[in-house]
Structure 1
Amino acid sequence: MPGRTIKMLAVAVPAAVALAGCGGGPVRTGSAAIVGDHRITISTLGQAVEDWEREFRADPRANQLRSMNPPPADTDVQNALFGLVQIRLTDEAARRAGLRVSDGQVDMALNSLNRDPRRGPASSFARARGLPARYARDLARQAVIVGEVLRRNGDDGTGFRTLVSQTAQSLGVRINPRYGTFDPDRLVFGPVRTTLSSPGSGVG
């Protein structure tokens, strides 16, 4: 099961958060995105991108994985932000569905990914998805959650996308317009708008 869920994560999550659509709203100054009561700051996003760029350049395997399964966005900043939003949405979706993910399950998923000759190791998998290696454990936890939802529903990922979509609609995910827009109904991100919000809009 861990190998299958890692494969499903590589397909279902980027597919659920693809480029297109519209939406979004004002966010607090200094925020890149707000997912429920969780704030992803611009500084957190910037550090993630800076670390990812350094690590990705030195990781040929990550480059190979990325070429085989390109991330959904056109820019490195958007890909990193989308990944961080996905992590928060998946965690909250699991909580609302009553899914309990143990450290042991995450360890098993990490070990499976590290041994997987097609999608591993875990550090390279994370970098291929646009995040630095320190987020590999978060992605492994996502894989466990996807696997549990698949086990419950016996589907090809539709149940997982529906669960995350319902969570996104309920939370009211907000993206700083400088990074794009978000449609919680379809779980899609849109491109950056040509006109940025004014200084008084509360976005920064």
Structure 2
Amino acid sequence: MHRRRRTALLLSAAIAAAPLLTACGSDAHPGAAAVVDGRRITVGELQSRVAEVRSAQRAAVQDDTQYAQVVANTGSLTRDTLHEMVLDEVLHRTAQDAGVTVSRSEVQRERAGLEQQAGGSKALESVWLQRYGIAPERLDDNLRLQVEASKLATVLGTQVSEPAFWKALSDKSKQLGVDLNPRYGTWDVQKSGVEAKAPWVKDVTAAESQQTA
């Protein structure tokens, strides 16, 4: 009972340790952490995503001292999560306009290949959580984006790491009128991708190199 109560308190403290999330949002968009093409990503949505990651981290790290260190090492989780949420939406909309679709079987193949490299499903979930701050329940959605990024790069005749790819995302970002609440930084599509450590930014080209080797 005491351990369960202590765990709950640690989770609450971890979420509170992130930059303060208030319901006011920006003056232009009350309650919004960001706005993409007129659709608000609410502060509540952002809080929920951060809580998913913190809960997964707590489940993975039983020792209280070690968990506190994990929280300290991921102090920018709230900001990074929001930037990744916006970037993922920009990527998805760019891919849609380019006629890119991703099937469930493609996601399953991507996951199977990564699980083989990582040493199993749980190992892959652990890697994505530790390296990218992706909760296990979001893994398939994230892998769908990874496949989507790879296919979009092919359609554009470039690679994810090349300027042409990021220009397409930058153009779409401007078209969508991305508006970030200033408390979470400023929006720069490529800089946000690197800083948020979105898996598809770095891993897609690496995976392609391995497949063609």
TM-score by length of 2: 0.62
Shift in alpha-carbon separation, 1:93–1:160, aligned structure 2, 3 A: same
Shift of 1:119: 11
Matched residue, 2:88: 87
Q: Deviations over 1:102-129 (max 9, x none)?
A: 1211222222222222897442344231
Q: Is 1:133 matched up with 2:148? A: no
Shift in alpha-carbon separation, 1:29–1:172, aligned structure 2, 3 A: same
Matched residue, 1:149: 152
Q: Greater helix percent: which structure?
A: 2
* Uncovered stretches (5+) of structure 2, i.e. residues with no partner: 1-25, 194-213
Matched residue, 2:38: 37
Shift of 1:59: 3.2
* Uncovered stretches (5+) of structure 1, i.e. residues with no partner: 1-24, 190-204
Shift of 1:154: 4.3
Secondary structure of 2:159's aligned partner: coil
Shift of 1:55: 0.8
Pairing partner for 1:124 from 101, 123, 126: 126
Which one-letter code corresponds to 2:125 in the other structure? Answer: S
Indicate conservation of the 8 Å contact 1:83/1:130, yes or no. no
Matched residue, 2:112: 111
Superposition pairs for residues 42-53 of structure 1, below 5 Å? 42-53=43-54
Indicate conservation of the 8 Å contact 1:126/1:139, yes or no. no
Q: Deviations over 1:133-162 (max 9, x none)?
A: 222122111111122133331435223322
Q: Distance in 1 between matches of 2:42 and 2:102?
A: 26
For these two proteins, the number of residue pairs brought into alignment is: 156
Pairing partner for 2:183 from 155, 178, 183: 178
State the structure with bigger RCO (CA 8 A, min sep 6), 1 or 2: 1
Matched residue, 1:199: none
Shift in alpha-carbon separation, 1:46–1:155, aligned structure 2, 3 A: closer
Q: Distance in 2 between matches of 1:53 and 1:101?
A: 29
Q: Greater strand percent: which structure?
A: 1
Shift in alpha-carbon separation, 1:148–1:179, aligned structure 2, 3 A: same
Q: Distance in 1 between matches of 2:192 and 2:27?
A: 18
Which one-letter code corresponds to 1:91 in the other structure? Answer: H
Indicate conservation of the 8 Å contact 2:150/2:159, yes or no. no
Shift in alpha-carbon separation, 1:33–1:118, aligned structure 2, 3 A: farther
Matched residue, 2:173: 168
Q: Distance in 2 between matches of 1:125 and 1:37?
A: 34
Q: Distance in 1 between matches of 2:159 and 2:170?
A: 16
